[in-house]
Structures are given as C-alpha cells and as structure tokens.
Amino acid sequence: MQKHSDLIEAVRRNCDISDARYAGSFSICGLALRLRDLYKWENGLEPWVEKDPAEMLQWIDARENRWESLCTQQFLDLRLNGANHGPFDTPEVNAGLNPANLYYGALYAQRLKPTFFLAFIDGRLTAGGLPVLVLGDELARDLLTTPALNLDGNLIVRKAAARLHLWDQIAYIKKSGRPALEFALAHLGLTDCRPGTVGSNLSRLLAVQMDTYVYHEVGEVRDEIFDRDRWRSIIATHPQTPVELLARAGKDLLADTHASGPLRRMIRTRNKVGLALYAAFCDGLLRELFRELRPAFSAFVEKSNWDLIAEAVDSANRSGRRWAEMMMHYHAEGIRRGDAVWARGQIERRLNKHLESNQAHGRAIS
C-alpha cells in the first residue's frame, strides 16, 4: 500500500475531521459505543474482545484531544495518480483505485455527518438484479459502523463494519429482543449464549445478516413510494430532529417490506433465523412504526405460520406508505408557505400522537 500511503493518510485525516465536528451530536452512550468500535478496528481486535478499560479510556482521551485541533479544519483533497480529487468525488477516485482492488466511500449519513471509508474489495455479486461489492479489511474509517449502503449505482457491504455492528446488536440487545435472539441461536444449534460461544459462531450469524443487509439496500433502491429526491430534501431541511429520524425509519420500513426487500425474501425462502434476528434487532423508532412485528413473530414461534408474517409485512408496508405520503405532503406545503418550522411542527405532531397511542397500548419507548 506504499503507493497509496498519502491517499490513505488523507482519508484517515478526513475521518478524524468529520468525527471532530460531529462527535457532539451523539448521546454519551452512543458516542461511547462508536468509540469502542473505532478502538477495536484501530487495534485489530475481534468484536467480542474487551481490553482493559483504563487503556481504552486513555486512547479515548488522546482521540478527543486530537479532535480539538481538527474540528475547524477543512476536508483534504485526495491525490491519486497525479491528480487531486475532492473528498466526495467517489466515481473518479474509485476509477483510479480499481487496479489496486480498493474501494473508497464518501457520503452524508445520519445527522448529515460526512462519513468516509477505504477498504479492499473481497468480492462482487448481484442481488435483485443490482451489483454488489463486498468489502473486506478497511484501511480507513470513521465513527460510524455502517454495515451496508448504496453508492454510485452499487450496493456496498462492509464486512468488517458489519461484524462489529452485529456484535453490538447482540451484546447490547434489550430485554424485549432476547427471546427472538435466543430463537435464532437455537435454530443454529447454539444453546450456550455466553459471549465466547456466540463470538466463535459470529461468522455463521453474519452470513445470515449479510443477506438482510444486502436486500435492505435492494428494497431501498427499488422503493418508489418515498421519492428519494424529496426524502433527501426532508433530511436536509430537518437535520438532527425527530423529522429526520422519522424520515429514515419510514424509508427503512418501506425498504424492508418491499417486494424485493429482506422480509419478503425471508418469507419466500422460509428463513427462520433471518426473521428471528430481524425481530430481535428491530428497535427504536422503526419498532414503533412496525408495531405488527413483535406480536406476529410471537404467534409465528408457536404456529410456524408464514402467513402471519406476510400479513404483518403487508400491513407495515401500507403504514410506511401513509407515513411517507404524510411527510412529503407537509414538506411540500412547508416549501409553498416558505415555512419549514410549520412543516416540522405538523410532522412531529403526527409522530407524537402515534407514539402516545403505542404507549397507551403498553409499548412505551425504551
């Protein structure tokens, strides 16, 4: 990698600059989890390995001190084959990296945080008629442990990030998700749920989840309900608000319940493990929008009736459509009025009413 050492260093620097600017947008717990993942990547640790807390705290302190000197700096251009490229010029950079079997990613993620990564290409395949790049070891990454995304016409799976993401979901799963996780582990022949046992079988679980990650992206690309341009406009207009969270959760719901999405694929292939992991990890606002899932899965455990899951998915897809149409309506009206604050208020009022209804039925947000 000597030939691309300057490029690698520039990408890593841009990762640090982005982290420095946006670290404050995370909750204390959320930032701690992301820092733990970054620490494990930087030190080549397996996801389930926990080092001495004092050592990690020392590393975090050094990282935060570095951020203080970077938060006002501009992103660096990337020099490749004698030419300079902007940090978001991904097609041009990847054209130059292709002979080295490397892939560079740059995009705006949650909270409109710029996120960057550089990794080796492990394989190429297709899913739902779309090209998929499977990435392996990463040479640069930031705080975000994003397992999959779509960029420049490709679906991207980051195996290294996906392993960390999956382990985090298992290690920090809430009590409500444990029965579904235990169901999934039992169907893989794992009755011992201790970290060491689960860790040694993480590759088997990841193989199942990789399919879910890929077909979530397929569903997102194929979804025609939540217009992507308007979705991006909503995100850009209301960053770091409940409206952004709702837009992302609504888009995820439509992707997962799409005819080409992961849940329909699980139904077709009778993938009990994949379904159980989905039910186990479905949390936060997505769970509040997909309130049919947990009751349907509980009934499925007793009856093994896939029609129950299909009915829940159909209902959730209709619900996702209503949320998307509502958000696009108020966003468009807000533009017409020149009043984004009004639009935000209308959307948040609908969301709060929905959450209050869920709480009234015994599903308080945890």
365 in any annotated domain: no
Calculate what percentage of the chain has a pLDDT beyond 70. 98
Looking at the whole model, is its pTM more than 0.85? yes
pLDDT band at 364 (very low <50, low <70, confident <90, very high): very low
Residue 352 lies in a domain: yes
Same domain, 126 and 179: no
Residue-wise pLDDT tens digits, 178-207: 999 999 999 999 887 788 888 889 999 999
d(CA 111, CA 342): 20
Same domain assignment for residues 153 and 302:
no
Same domain? 186 vs 269: yes
Say which amino acid occupies 195.
P
Confidence class of residue 365 from pLDDT cuts 50, 70 and 90? very low
Type and span of the H or E element at 176: none
List alpha helices for the chain, DSSP H: 5-22, 28-42, 53-68, 90-97, 159-171, 178-187, 195-200, 202-222, 228-237, 242-257, 262-269, 272-281, 284-289, 293-303, 306-337, 340-360
Q: Is the pLDDT of residue 101 over 60?
A: yes
Beta carbons within 8 Å of 324's beta carbon, 6+ residues apart: 225, 226, 231, 250, 251, 254
Are residues 127 and 254 located together in one domain of the fold? Answer: no
Residue 152, pLDDT > 80, answer: yes
- Judgement on whether residues 258 and 353 belong to the same structural domain of the protein: yes
Give the pLDDT mean for 101-127. 96
| Domain final residue pick, 137, 164, 191 | 164
239 and 320 in a single domain? The answer is yes
The tens digit of pLDDT for each residue in 77-91 reads 999 999 999 999 999
Query: Looking at the domain assignment, is residue 366 inside a domain?
Result: no
The domain total for the chain is: 2
**105 within domain boundaries:** yes
Same domain, 305 and 238: yes
Query: Which domain covers residue 310, as residue numbers?
Result: 173-360
355 assigned to some structural domain: yes
Q: Kindly state whether residues 214 and 331 are assigned to the same domain.
A: yes
Mean pLDDT along residues 132-140 = 97
Query: How many Cβ atoms sit within 10 Å of the Cβ of residue 228?
Result: 12
320-359 tens-digit pLDDT = 999 999 999 999 999 999 999 999 999 999 999 999 988 7
pLDDT at position 361: 65
User: What does the block give as tokens for 304?
Assistant: 């093994």
| Residue 195 pLDDT | 80
Cβ pair 365, 355 in contact under 8 A: yes
Which residues partner with 138 through β-bridges? 119
Query: Is the residue at 88 inside a domain?
Result: yes
Q: Which of 110, 144, 164 is the last residue of a domain?
A: 164
Looking at the domain assignment, is residue 223 inside a domain?
yes
What pLDDT sits at residue 366? 37
DSSP-derived secondary structure for 15-30: HHHHHHHHGGGS-HHH
Same-domain check for residues 302 and 234: yes
Q: Which of 139, 164, 189 is the last residue of a domain?
A: 164
User: 190 and 160, same structural domain?
Assistant: no
Q: Output the pLDDT for position 363.
A: 45
CA separation for the pair 70, 68 (Å, rounded): 6
Q: Give yes or no for residue 208 having a pLDDT over 90.
A: yes
